């Protein structure tokens, strides 16, 4: 790889700025519900700033989505930006971002139609919009490739402290109302749950794989920094049975169908990714092409290559690694619902 592109940096920058703007928007919104105001800071200023920053947040989120899709580093399409669970890349954590964006859109659209909707309907959706903040926070922590950076963790901690403090102050003002204690406990649980998640998730080795990053991307990760130990030499794939998950996605524009199988082999532990593409027909899906990637446990680089033969449940792929001869992988694949099983048989590329 030639290194991160400008779009790669833009995606992360717009995501961070969007979270900061959303944090300030939430704090101002809470202040507005408490009718906060002073001679030097009238309530109308809080309301106006809240409205302007809300629109700016939406703009940065839109830029974040645009650069993510255009970058092409990860297989994230336009549909995945608005439809949950449609991306093969870190599916759950990307879905949190999708849900957050959908909530923001709901708040924006209902605000534009506020006169026609009425105050009660608008207020109900507007309050629901506050849920997009914790969802966006966890999306960034789970999906971001730089979530372990100290300065970014510190920024996330400041955002959590600001929102928690704002809601805590608002609950203190309303402590005589029914249900305030339950709300206070939920408010206090947010920073605790976030800190626990970061400790057992992004800060732990192997998070990229556990988060759902395709093996093809793990195998093609950037070179280590200066002074780091050299990458482990890629081990040649070995034969073995496998079991994993299968996901299907449809490109709404072209109608093409992509089936992605992510599995682990038994015996020698390896990560196996099979990506098959084709077109929908009257009998289901006519798969016609694809790729296969295999990465041995503990290795940072693997073998990958195109599918050269595809017949029913059987396929053949020619895999090449960073060194050594190419190998021929014969795969028997069975998919039942979301479960994929089969066997991988590896031989030299000249074998039949």
Per-residue pLDDT band for 351 (boundaries 50, 70, 90) equals low
Please give the pLDDT value at position 1: 39
Overall average pLDDT of the 296-310 stretch: 83
Statement: residue 226 has pLDDT above 50: no
131-150 per-residue burial string, b: 16 or more CB within 10 A, e: under 16: ebbbbbbbbbbbbbbebeee
Overall average pLDDT of the 259-263 stretch: 91
178: exposed, middle or buried (Cβ count in 10 Å: 0-12, 13-18, 19+): exposed
Question: What is the three-state SS of the chain?
Answer: CCCCCHHHHHHHHHHHHHHHHHHHHHHHHHHHHCCCCECCECHHHHHHHHHHHHHHHHHHHHHHHHHHHHHCCCCCCCHHHCCCCCCCCCHHHHHHHHHHHHHHHHHHHHHHCHHHHCHHHHHHHHHHHCCHHHHHHHHHHHHCCCCCCHHHHHHHHHHHHHHHHHHHHHHHHCCCCCCHHHHHHHHHHHHHHHHHHHHHCCCCCCHHHHCCCCHHHHHCCCCCCCCCCCCCCCCCCCCEEEEEEEEEEECCCCCEEEEEEEEEECCCCEEEEEEEEEEEECCEEEEEEEEEEEEECCCCCCEEEEEEEEECCEEEEEEECCCCCCEEEEEEEEEECCEEEEEEEEEECCCC
Please give the pLDDT value at position 281: 58
Q: What is the CA radius of gyration of the chain?
A: 24
Q: What digits encode the pLDDT tens for the residues 306-326?
A: 999 888 889 999 998 876 678
Of all residues in the chain, what percent carry a pLDDT higher than 90?
A: 35
Overall average pLDDT of the 82-99 stretch: 90
Q: Which residue has the higher pLDDT, 67 or 112?
A: 67
Domain boundary assignment for the chain: 6-209, 232-348
Euclidean distance between CA atoms 323 and 184, whole angstroms:
58
Q: What is the mean pLDDT of the chain?
A: 82
DSSP bridge partners of 259: 248, 276
Per-residue pLDDT band for 250 (boundaries 50, 70, 90) equals confident
Both tokens of 284, joined, read 């289901």
Please give the pLDDT value at position 224: 41
Give CA torsion, residues 210, 214, 219, 224, to 10 deg: -60
């Amino acid at each position: 790889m030639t290194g991160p592109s400008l779009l790669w940096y833009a995606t992360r920058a717009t995501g961070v700025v969007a979270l900061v703007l959303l944090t300030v928007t939430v704090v101002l919104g809470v202040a507005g519900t408490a009718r906060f105001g002073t001679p030097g800071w009238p309530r109308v200023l809080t309301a106006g700033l809240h409205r302007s920053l809300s629109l700016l947040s939406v703009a940065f989120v839109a830029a974040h989505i645009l650069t993510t899709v255009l970058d092409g580093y990860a297989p994230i399409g336009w549909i995945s930006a608005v439809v949950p669970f449609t991306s093969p890349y870190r599916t759950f954590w990307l879905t949190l971002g999708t849900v957050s964006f959908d909530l923001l859109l709901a708040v924006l659209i209902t605000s534009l139609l506020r006169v026609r909707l009425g105050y009660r309907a608008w207020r109900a959706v507007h309050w629901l919009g506050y849920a997009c903040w914790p969802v966006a926070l966890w999306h960034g922590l789970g999906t971001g490739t730089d979530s372990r950076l100290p300065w970014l963790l510190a920024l996330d901690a400041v955002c959590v402290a600001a929102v928690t403090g704002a809601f805590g102050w608002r609950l203190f003002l309303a402590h005589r109302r029914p249900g305030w204690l339950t709300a206070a406990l939920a408010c206090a649980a947010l920073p605790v749950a976030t800190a626990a998640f970061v400790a057992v998730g992004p800060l732990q080795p192997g998070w990229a794989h556990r988060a759902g990053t395709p093996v093809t991307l793990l195998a093609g990760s950037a070179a280590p920094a200066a002074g780091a130990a050299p990458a482990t030499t890629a081990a040649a794939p070995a034969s073995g049975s496998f079991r994993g998950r299968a996901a299907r996605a449809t490109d709404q524009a072209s109608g093409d169908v992509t089936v992605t199988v992510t599995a682990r082999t038994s015996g020698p532990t390896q990560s196996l990714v099979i990506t098959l593409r084709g077109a929908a027909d009257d009998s289901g899906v006519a798969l016609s092409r694809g790729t296969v990637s295999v990465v041995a446990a503990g290795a940072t680089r693997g073998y990958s290559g195109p599918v050269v033969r595809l017949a029913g449940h059987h396929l053949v792929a020619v895999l090449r690694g960073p060194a050594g001869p190419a190998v021929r992988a014969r795969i028997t694949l069975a998919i039942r619902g979301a479960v994929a099983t089969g066997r991988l048989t590896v031989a030299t590329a000249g074998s039949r």
